[in-house]
A and B are shown apart, each in its own frame.
Chain A
Amino acid sequence: MRSKIVLLVTTVVCFLIQSTVLHLISIGSITPNLLLILCVSMGLMRGRKVGLWTGFFSGLLIDLFYGSVFGFYALIYMYVGFFSGYAFRIYYDDDIKVPIMLTVIMDTFYNLAVYGLQFLLRGRLGLGTYFTRIIVPEVFYTVFLTVIVYRIFHYINYHFMSATRKESESIWVLK
């Protein structure tokens, strides 16, 4: 229960930071995607289900205030959280390299999904321009932010939320 409340508060705080403060550090009108980092981190540290719910609620917040179609961002963020959950218990979550790799993959996936479903369908064909101008810079900037923010999420996970990793549950331990 406590973990759920902490998770909800973290999601709302991240949404607030993302929509108000993060624009101040945007470079060339590109803002890093904090909510995506949250989804990836929670998926990695707490599994597919938690990743899925984190993604769903962060997407829902965006949909409520900024989305043109209700449920669109919830769907994409949900998949981001879910797929990062596959890394749970397979990789150690106290190493920064795994979340970085996951962020790269998931941010590219997220942006391609937004492009494919909302821009391509309206006949905007210049994927090359969008790729070099929006997607690649956003991925780089988000990775940069991951390096800083992941440690905070890691700290929140191990100090304010109940433990998920039991030694006996690890697939590497012989039973």
Chain B
Amino acid sequence: MKNLKKKFQFRLHLKSKHLLVIMTLFCGSTIVATLASGITTVPFQEAVGTIVVPFEKSINTIGVWLTDLHKAFKDKQDLVDANEELQNTVDTLTEQNNILIQNQSELTRLQELYKLDEEYSDYPKVAARIISKDPGNWYDTFMINKGSKDGIRVDNNVIAGKGLVGIVTEVGSNWATVRSIIDDSSNVSAMTVGTDDTCVVEGDLELIDEGKLRFTQLYDKEDKVTAGERVVTSNISEKYVEGLFIGYVSEISLDSNNLTKTGTLVTPVDFQHLKDVFVITVNKQDSIEEGEQ
């Protein structure tokens, strides 16, 4: 029996450099496959997700519990509660304020023509908690504890109390990954509230310390856009639903082509301490498809 086992035991002896070449080719081909033909890795993600995500959720729960314990030790629970309550009021007031300002400028225009009766708060939302973050320092993506079971789909927009946070890029049954708007590879089509000029808001790692975003291609011939102007997601964006608050214009300068303007935005969302987010379960594409039908 032992001999038989030995006889049929199949052992591949490879030198490490040959192994390296083989694995490099393997990785290279997967990179090319995902880039060129858009092969998805969803089945793998689903399989590994079922093992990894419950751990992440429990670790996160323990983390939250420990944080709570820590706060209780400091005997500041009352203060924390009061602060939370006030923060919520500030959030809701800012949101209301945003809506009001948007309403004002929108009402003056042809509201009926554009059917802009949908507001920020009318979108169906799902509350979710961030359970883990991107391991590296170069990108800014995170994972939330809700997935396709809760109605979340790819390209759903994610907001926190005060403004736009990001977009869902991958979905599993009980998790989803979100790319935040401060991520270096993020681009959002946006417009100014006052003048309805469109621009593109990009995340930039070089500005991340200041909590700012870059905006480019703002066509503002009459110099109406000034610092403090509110910027929201635009009506021509393919992936972001209209009217989500992104931030205030902080600096603005004319490009060397004398046509477009570039500058920076300040976002009201505290990305460093983000814990709970809302996912809007309606996609921009849905409303377009509905319109076609």
A and B form one complex? yes
Residues of chain A at the chain B interface (Cβ within 8 Å): 12, 15-16, 18-24, 28-31, 33, 35, 47-49, 52, 56, 61-66, 68-72, 74-75, 78-79, 82, 85, 111, 114-115, 118-119, 122, 124, 126, 129-130, 133-134, 138
Tell whether B10 is near chain A: CB-to-CB under 8 Å.
Answer: no
CB atoms of A30 and B52 under 8 A apart: no
| CB–CB A15/B16 < 8 A | no
Interface flags for B14-41 (1: CB within 8 Å of A; 0: not) read: 0010011001101111110111000101
Minimum Cβ distance to chain A for residue B134 (Å): 5
- The CB with the most chain A CB atoms within 10 A, among B45, B133, B184, is that of B133
Q: Chain A residues with Cβ under 8 A from B177's Cβ?
A: 65-66
A sample of 6 more A-B contacts (CB under 8 A), given A65-B170, A78-B20, A82-B20, is A15-B52, A19-B56, A20-B59, A47-B16, A64-B44, A119-B138
Q: Which of B24, B135, B205 contacts A18 (CB 8 A)?
A: B135
Does B63 lie at the interface of the complex (its beta carbon under 8 Å from any beta carbon of A)? yes
| CB<8 Å pairs between A and B, sample of 27 | A16-B52, A16-B132, A18-B135, A19-B133, A20-B132, A23-B133, A31-B135, A47-B16, A63-B41, A64-B41, A64-B44, A64-B49, A65-B49, A66-B135, A70-B41, A71-B26, A71-B31, A74-B27, A75-B24, A75-B28, A82-B16, A114-B136, A115-B138, A119-B184, A129-B206, A133-B205, A133-B209
- Option from B23, B48, B184 in Cβ contact (under 8 Å) with A61: B48
Q: Is the CB of B138 within 8 A of A65?
A: no
CA distance A65 to B47 in the complex (A): 11
Are B136 and A72 touching (Cβ within 8 A)? Answer: no
Residue of A nearest to B169 (CB): A68
Least distance between B40 CB and chain A CB atoms (Å): 9
Contacts of B205 in A (CB 8 A): 119, 124, 130, 133-134
B27: chain A residues within 8 A (beta carbon): 56, 71-72, 74-75, 78
Contact B16 A49 (CB under 8 A): yes
Complex CA gap A88/B175 in Å reads 40
- A to B contact number (C-beta, < 8 Å): 134
Among the interface residues A33, A63, A65, A79, which one has the most CB atoms of the partner chain B within 10 A?
A65
B186 to chain A, nearest CB (A): 11
Please, which residues of chain B bring their CB within 8 A of the CB of A126?
A: 206
Q: In the complex where A20-B59, A66-B141 touch, is A33 in contact with B136 (Cβ < 8 A)? A: yes
List the B side residues contacting A74 at CB < 8 Å.
27, 30
The smallest beta-carbon distance between B56 and chain A, in angstroms, is 5
Residues of A within 8 A of B48 (CB): 61, 64-65
Taking the closest CB of chain A, its distance from the CB of B21, in whole angstroms, is 11
Complex Cα–Cα for A13 and B115 (A): 51
In the bound complex, CA of A22 to CA of B177 (Å):
18
The majority secondary structure among interface residues of chain A is helix
B209 touching A21, Cβ below 8 Å: no
| B interface residue numbers (CB < 8 A to A) | 16, 19-20, 23-24, 26-31, 33-35, 39, 41, 44-45, 48-49, 51-52, 55-56, 59-60, 63, 131-139, 141, 143, 170, 177, 184-185, 205-206, 208-209, 272
Contact B208 A29, beta carbon cutoff 8 Å: yes
Least CB distance, A131 to chain B, in whole angstroms: 12
CA distance A31 to B133 in the complex (A): 11
Cα(A119)–Cα(B51), bound, Å: 32
- Find chain A residues with CB under 8 A from B131 CB: 20
Contacts of A72 in B (CB 8 A): 27, 31
Query: In the complex the two chains form, is B59's CB within 8 Å of A29's CB?
Result: no
A117 to B232: give the CA distance in the assembly, Å.
32
B16, B132, B135: which contacts A52 (Cβ < 8 A)?
B16
Q: Kindly provide the distance from the CB of B63 to the nearest chain A CB, expressed in whole angstroms.
A: 7
Q: Which of B30, B55, B131 has the most chain A CB atoms inside 10 A of its CB?
A: B30
In whole angstroms, what is the CA distance A35 to B134 when docked?
12
Q: Does B63 lie within 8 Å of A20, measured CB to CB?
A: yes
A117–B44 CA distance with the chains assembled, in angstroms = 25
Q: Which of A18, A29, A35, A69 contacts B34 (CB 8 A)?
A: A69
